[in-house]
Structure 1
Amino acid sequence: MQFGEGGAGTFSDGKLYSQVKDPKQYSRKVLNEFVAAGAPEEILYVSKPHIGTFKLVAMVEKMRAQIIELGGEIRFSSRVDDLHIEDGQITGVTLADGEKLYSKHIAIAIGHSARDTFEMLHNKGVYIEAKPFSVGFRIEHEQSAIDKARFGPNAGNEILGAADYKLVHHCKNGRSVYSFCMCPGGTVVAATSEEHRVVTNGMSQYSRNERNANSAIVVGIDPSDYPGGPLAGIEFQRKLESLAYELGGSNYDAPAQTVGAFLRNETPEKLGTVEPSFKPGIKLTNLADALPDFCIEAIREAIPAFNRKIKGFAFDDALLTGVETRTSAPINIKRDNDSLESINTKGLYPAGEGAGYAGGIMSAAIDGIKIAEAMALSINSKTAL
């Protein structure tokens, strides 16, 4: 779910909007490229464009075909296992099968869950910092309940479609809790990338017509919560994901709890009216054991606060499923503000979510364009010399 053609964003709601500053209007180029690849033209003018998983898959296939037509080469199942660095300059890479590829300009856009590659980069001396990210649960409501709360008597009107929401609450303990990757008419999906661990994510199709709405409800954390060096956030994530695996029954079912039971600190005996969408299945348990106490305290404060904004959000039968740990990369591969190269490895261009410079499809695409331009400028300047 976290890797492969299209990256982790393939299995999502396919949201095509972001909050990044875009004075050069890169986002317009991205949207035009997406339409050329088969996205509906409405993404050029609706306020919150999205395309869903199935359309994204077909679009990325078309993009791949265009890259090949233009002379590019795509290699699947070709993990980079080593970097060649001479006097602080990148000169090439070694693949898992032993093949070596040589270049002094290499973009590294590895996504937010490439933990083995993070470790390899750190071991090679590429400068990395730990950075803030967020952890929490997925919450599910019946989509009709969210529609009614958001649209009132107009709920169900096909012009409006499935309602979404965006929520944030600043807690008494100094933490912030917010909704993330809200998927109207979607499903909660399994997104682990390592054995004996459980991770949740959310996705929607273009139609957004599944029974439930879901979103992550997450708590912001920072390196002071997981001291131990640049890669300590990875171990923090792994600990929570392993615990979720155990709480779910050690069979890749996810631990879950009704919202009412969570707020009362009880273990629910049965589900209510909200049917879980997570596959392969869920195990009812007490999620108070799934996250650090400060996270549980913050989420318990936030859900009633969200209920004041969206009536029914704290509905007893709504369902929480754990754990959501991959909101963004736990590291930042620092780069120079001007050249966009790694600050201590010339010719290496950290890009996108895995480098800590994006947080979604649009921001990652925009960052990719910036990196491509920076590499082209560097190559042209060296060619001129």
Structure 2
Amino acid sequence: MKTVKAISAAMVVAAMAGSMVLAADTYVGTGSFLNVGDSTKTAGGATADTARVDARAGASVLVTSKTSAEDDPYGAGKHAENLKGDYDVARVVVHNTRSDFGLDTYASKTGTAIGAYAKSNGVQSAALGYKAEVTRAAENGLALGYSSQAAAKNSVALGSGSVADEANTVSVGSSSSQRRIVNVADGTAATDAATVGQVQSLTGANTALIQNNSDSINRLDRSVSNLGTEIDHVGALSSALAGLHPLYTDQGFELSAAGGFYDGKQAVALGGFYHANPDVMLSFGAATSFGGNHKYAENVGVTFRVGSKTEKTAAVETGTSDDVMKRLDALSRKVDQLEAENKELKAKMNGVK
């Protein structure tokens, strides 16, 4: 600070006394001095090819836009020794596309470094803050805040101690220290960040939707289960009703009973058949399944004869069935008689022999 004040005071005094030198190829003194002009010289006589305010005690100002100036203003050669990076000096360097402000700072050829010990090594990068750093790999990187670091391409580190080590990311903390981003408006576009309120609202809606879906699924499961049970009962009832059969009679009333089984379910059926005449039969049936949720089934039917009648039916209708039976009985007795006579004849023939 004393050196800077001395420089400022010297500039003021020189201006008041009319002793400030503004010309090419000039320099002033060997201590704290001021050189301004094209191709000014250092105290040792070297040509600097720049306009420079130089204080050997520790403060330097280098301002140039000349493309002919060397790319490394921190090295030895054309510039004063205290512009080199080996010196812990306060300096201001605006050199072509490089901007460098602070104590022992460093900026790449197209970088910007502002703040004591700030380092901006990446192409077109910027480091702002005490010990802020952008590494060489962090092209277009930005480090903002004390000891912040951007270490990947297009990465941004915001705040003290923040580290951005993944490409195309913005970091507001590090693995050991996190920050909240507050006072954020709700996102509206597809690429906007969502607030906690939006997430909670969406979560609540999704929870309700999931609950509704879960209820629907449970109801569907119960319906499917009930449907399966219903089918089992129907199967048992159908099997039982199918077991009801009439006898081959021509007139009168008949009763029939049957059981049915299907996939673990049981049912019983009871039916009746009424022969109104040889050509018409009426029928009915009823069945019930067993179990806590038992089911019922009933049926009714009528049967008509179609086509020619059988011999037996014709005999019944003509009243000749008794005669036929008598003839069959007589024929049976005649056959028995012939068999007896045949045996007797065989016995006699055996005796003759």
Q: Same fold (TM over 0.5)?
A: no
TM-score, scaled relative to structure 1: 0.17
Higher normalized strand content (fraction of residues) = 2
Mark the structure with the bigger radius of gyration.
Answer: 2
